Structure 1
């Protein structure tokens, strides 16, 4: 049975705190049960919802593998990471993220999300082998990739979630004391390592248990959502794509928090949480299908735009030659929506002059947009129509 621990709080430093936050007092930290490795029995409704979600995810995976959308997963990862950052309260446009990633500099939020992108990819690639036993060290490494400024390791102090101030006495939820974290996170690693049963159910419980433990000082939300993809990949539910489930959570954070609260009730309402999670997975799959269709259509449109532009200026041939640098650029816009003269020259093996000519032509055709720095110098070119599709949360509301 879960239980609470009564602890005393006295702020270590009262400087700059409000009167209420300077107060000392007792609070109750929640300690969840360890998870049995076998999945629990759920209500018929929750079971049916999870089964349907697993089937829809499998169909999505097959669709993407057969559609030839080579860069869809790359876009989905970026959409997922941006939405995950929105849940944390960090608003960031896909264009700003892509520019920071290409130029390797930007503001803190952009760099944080880039770290989250890489961590999500790490979760899929490094932890997806179902034969591999997931360890506490793996989860620590994943969080450190997301929050590289922090020293790696489980937390050694009390943290809390939400509330109007800077004190556990006013928090919405207080995770277990740090002394309980190693035991609970080791159990969770064992739970993630198992692949039997419905993967949607296992992913839902993994995420909720991780957020309940809240084992790190920061980065818990993003790490917990990355673990969702780890579980789905390990179970072979998804082999070719990542479902942008954070886009659904970000669109309705009240429902998301409410679901986690239901999970922490005594007794826990597992069925309500799993049913809610399954619905989010289905909606995520629908978003991924729409994105697949949109990108295929957009890639056809921009090729038509290029031909129309070349015809309008009397350029011959109106169809670029097969293997030309301009077609190579178009082929990779979904994966590389921000490019520079140097990146095109290096990645496609052409001279800077040839790269510049191709980029200027694409900009004149309205396919790329120039981005300048504060001195008016062009620093990169961006495929804004591709980038707009990454922002699935706003696009699908």
Structure 2
């Protein structure tokens, strides 16, 4: 088998580089919660948000509450097709951890599950022409059906060989996938699923980050980014859009994903009431060794931005006190849930 030489057209702009750096830094500060039960509960919440966002983009009207009810096996009064879409999406995401993003047969299997009972060609590349519509307007005519297998083989060959950063590679794959539009239906939800899968293999946190919810809120921009990339024959506008969605999702996450802190820092945060001096905090923790307190409790909490000085320009002032920052309060709220 000859190595694929296909190279999707995209340029790396300063905006793309800056967003990759910012996302990498944000992800580096996060870690999965140690509390397994809490982590599972929050994964479930985000999985519901992800399914809701991805299907809502495609016109599904079911609410997060209705999706939760379906997940719990309860009967929901709604259009049967929309209920089937939700059941399929939940079944697909149940397999999320086992799929290999660089395997084409896995993508076909994911499509089979996602579109089962909805279209005749579930799990098969389309046999007819297809266009991308925006209302009554055709905004993109996909390549002819007989070219789809070759184009998809080239795309997976590129994905397997590329050394592009996963944030960029996943966005390029997503755009190219939507351009090819390989299936009769379900292309949007499959493209978003596969980008999340590529990212989750880079960092497992992406299995629990509901980027689709933010894309749904910016649906017009999503389609505009696809159109602009197609017009320019350069995926850069779509890459920049997706990276902005990912970055915005990370910065607006509720505290289900929290900084990994030492027990000592956690104790310090729990002990602070309003503004307190070093001595008062140390006494509250019943610690006698001033040096140990400073090195193991105070400095790490300051370095993480969880507490702040009341007189930051005079760190050694005898009037110096410490208080929680917003980040510190969020961590406490998350740890107490």
Does the residue aligned with 2:213 lie in a helix, a strand or coil? helix
Q: TM-score, normalised by structure 2?
A: 0.66
In structure 2, stretches of 5+ residues that fail to align are 259-337
Shift of 1:185: 1.0
224, 235, 240: which one aligns with 1:275: 240
Matched, 1:48 2:13: no
Shift of 1:164: 4.2
Matched, 1:123 2:92: no
Structure 2 CA distance for aligned equivalents of residues 116 and 195 of structure 1: 29
In structure 2, the CA distance between the partners of 1:100 and 1:227, relative to structure 1 (3 Å rule), is: same
221, 230, 238: which one aligns with 2:197: 230
Structure 1 CA distance for aligned equivalents of residues 87 and 188 of structure 2: 15
Structure 1 CA distance for aligned equivalents of residues 148 and 170 of structure 2: 20
1:50–1:275 CA contact under 8 A, matched in 2: no
In structure 1, stretches of 5+ residues that fail to align are 1-33, 129-133, 294-397
Alignment partner, residue 84 of structure 2: 111
Structure 1 CA distance for aligned equivalents of residues 206 and 135 of structure 2: 42
1:118–1:145 CA contact under 8 A, matched in 2: yes
Alignment partner, residue 248 of structure 1: 214
Matched, 1:161 2:132: yes
Structure 2 CA distance for aligned equivalents of residues 124 and 265 of structure 1: 35
Alignment partner, residue 72 of structure 2: 102
Shift of 1:137: 1.9
Matched, 1:59 2:32: no
Alignment partner, residue 87 of structure 1: 57
Paired residues for 1:128-167 under 5 Å: 134-149=102-117, 150=119, 151=121, 152-165=123-136
1:105–1:111 CA contact under 8 A, matched in 2: no
2:54–2:189 CA contact under 8 A, matched in 1: yes
2:196–2:206 CA contact under 8 A, matched in 1: no
Shift of 1:291: 4.8
1:175–1:214 CA contact under 8 A, matched in 2: yes
Alignment partner, residue 297 of structure 2: none
Alignment partner, residue 214 of structure 1: 181
Structure 1 CA distance for aligned equivalents of residues 239 and 134 of structure 2: 26
Paired residues for 1:269-308 under 5 Å: 270-292=235-257
Shift of 1:49: 1.3
In structure 2, the CA distance between the partners of 1:184 and 1:240, relative to structure 1 (3 Å rule), is: closer
**Residue by residue, what CA displacement relative to the aligned partner does 1:55-108 show, whole Å, maximum 9, x if unpaired?**
323433x2x244653222222122111001110111211221122232265433
Shift of 1:127: 1.8
Q: Name the Cα RMSD after superposition.
A: 2.6
1:156–1:178 CA contact under 8 A, matched in 2: yes
Structure 1 CA distance for aligned equivalents of residues 115 and 245 of structure 2: 26
1:54–1:198 CA contact under 8 A, matched in 2: no
The total of aligned residue pairs comes to 247
Structure 2 CA distance for aligned equivalents of residues 284 and 190 of structure 1: 30
* Stretch of structure 1 that moved more, 112-121 or 219-228: 112-121
Structure 1 stretches of 4+ with a deviation exceeding 6 A read none
Structure 1 CA distance for aligned equivalents of residues 228 and 213 of structure 2: 21
